[in-house]
Chains A and B, each alone.
Chain A
């Protein structure tokens, strides 16, 4: 598909944005569900197992079986829990994850063909809300996703939940510092917070990718992204061996499923940010959107790959890594970038 610059695009209407929002909600939910299947398969292959095999060909319909299970399972609310907060918390996680996706480019733009009644001719944009502070918005929205696990853990009257909530607070708050500082250096280079500007700045092919100018920032962002999305090796919020399931201990059914979907949507968001900011985004001429899907797919696979390979870190190692290693390196990286830009 031809890549188009913003100036050439047709006018974005409210109907187009709403269609885009529905598409994102439907497809990302499905991908999040499918992601669990992929994760189980990849982890199985890396341990030389087969993974889910019995529901459908190669276990492809496992997703449907899991969905039926999640939807029909009893929604238990513990006796001493704060019922309202307990019920709202998973919605916060899922909602913030999807709101964050509003400002990132997901799926190509297209125009609905004219023969379709009512909506024919509507232009559906690639980004549903093309903010000029896109990165700031996405990071802020993912940061507010902190309240999901935090409130869930604190409301459920369960000691494992409390520990999970405490770990949520320290981990997410700490690593937001690293995420922000590491992405600050590319922002300084590009001079914009918009994903479209990032994409256009790297439009000249692989040699123009920001990863070559900012390798340190890339690694820092990746590490912090793993921590922000609660992935192994920073999987301390729901560390099974220590705290049962952390903040999700008392959840069942679809409320637990919303945490799950939120986590996978966040993984996709982080993958897209990393692909757009550091790996050139969707700008390759010719294959266009296929490349960003490959890049996002690579980052998604990397998360599963790392989970299969590396052990968890301890909470104290996590804090040590954040405040004594990553944050100083990020600050030094920003300073050096600034000096180079000035000189």
Chain B
């Protein structure tokens, strides 16, 4: 299953058809004629055929709609804003966060808390970084403001847990060092859509 259905944002350009509903019968004779016509026309059997066709499609042609959710999952859009990820630098494996504090400042629900200090090389070191997911509204401002693409929104939308502190520590969100080669470059919030060129009109020179 691909991502096409998520990427089509051109709402309203689909093929809609107006139905010809005709006129409601007024006189008794017209009503009788409608009843007789409907009786003979076999519209009811069209309905029966539709359901039977769907059953055949589902059973024999593999068009069953059910996704057995905990066992199989639908792909989600890369722009989906779920639990945050803290990314690492691919070369050195060091975390990307430079401790600038912009995400803490811009967070409109005040859920990001961070503390930094200078290490022995006079580099900013993040000593504490937590996101209170009880308050986070997943607006995505932190990911948008981050100058280093260090904090991004991940794809982890199953956020039930036993503890309030789950997911929310820096180490929980940071890419594990042994899985650095699996780290995906961020395609999410703010990323251009694959069909961005089609959606943009050129600005006239006269502007």
Contact = CB atoms under 8 A, between A and B. Distances in A.
Interface in A209-266: none
A309 B51 CA distance: 6
B94 interface: no
A310 B44 contact: yes
Nearest to A233: B44
Contact of B64 (A49, A305, A306): A49
Contact of A53 (B51, B58, B65, B68): B68
B52 A49 contact: no
A46 B58 CA distance: 8
Nearest to B50: A309
B59 A45 contact: yes
Contacts of A45: 54-55, 58-59
B50 A49 contact: no
Contacts of A47: 54
Interface string B51-85: 11011011100011110100000000000000000
Interface in A81-100: none
B47 interface: yes
Decide if the interface of chain B is mainly helix, strand, loop or mixed: helix
A50 interface: yes
A45 B68 CA distance: 15
Interface in A291-330: 305-306, 308-310, 325
A304 to B, nearest CB: 10
26 contacts: A42-B55, A45-B54, A45-B55, A45-B58, A46-B51, A46-B52, A46-B55, A47-B54, A48-B54, A48-B55, A48-B58, A48-B64, A48-B65, A49-B58, A49-B65, A50-B64, A50-B66, A53-B68, A305-B51, A306-B48, A308-B51, A309-B44, A309-B50, A309-B51, A310-B44, A325-B35
Nearest to B48: A309
A47 B51 CA distance: 7
A310 B54 contact: no
Interface in A3-48: 42, 45-48
Nearest to A307: B51
B70 to A, nearest CB: 11
Interface of B: 35, 44, 47-48, 50-52, 54-55, 57-59, 63-66, 68
Interface in A46-101: 46-50, 53
Contact of A48 (B44, B52, B57, B68): B57
B65 A305 contact: no
Contacts of A325: 35
A231 to B, nearest CB: 14
Kindly name the residue among B51, B55, B59 whose own CB sees the greatest number of chain A CB atoms within 10 A. Answer: B51
Given A49-B64, A50-B64, A309 B59 contact: no
Contact of B47 (A48, A49, A50, A310): A310
B41 to A, nearest CB: 15
A50 B69 CA distance: 12
Contact of B48 (A42, A53, A305): A305
B66 A49 contact: yes
A25 B122 CA distance: 86
B54 to A, nearest CB: 6
Contacts of A53: 68
A162 to B, nearest CB: 32
Contacts of B58: 45-46, 48-49
A53 B66 CA distance: 11
Contacts of B52: 46, 305
Contacts of B63: 48
A305 to B, nearest CB: 6
Contacts of B59: 45
Given A46-B54, A49-B58, A309-B47, 8 more contacts: A46-B55, A46-B58, A47-B54, A48-B55, A50-B66, A50-B68, A309-B51, A310-B47
B141 to A, nearest CB: 39
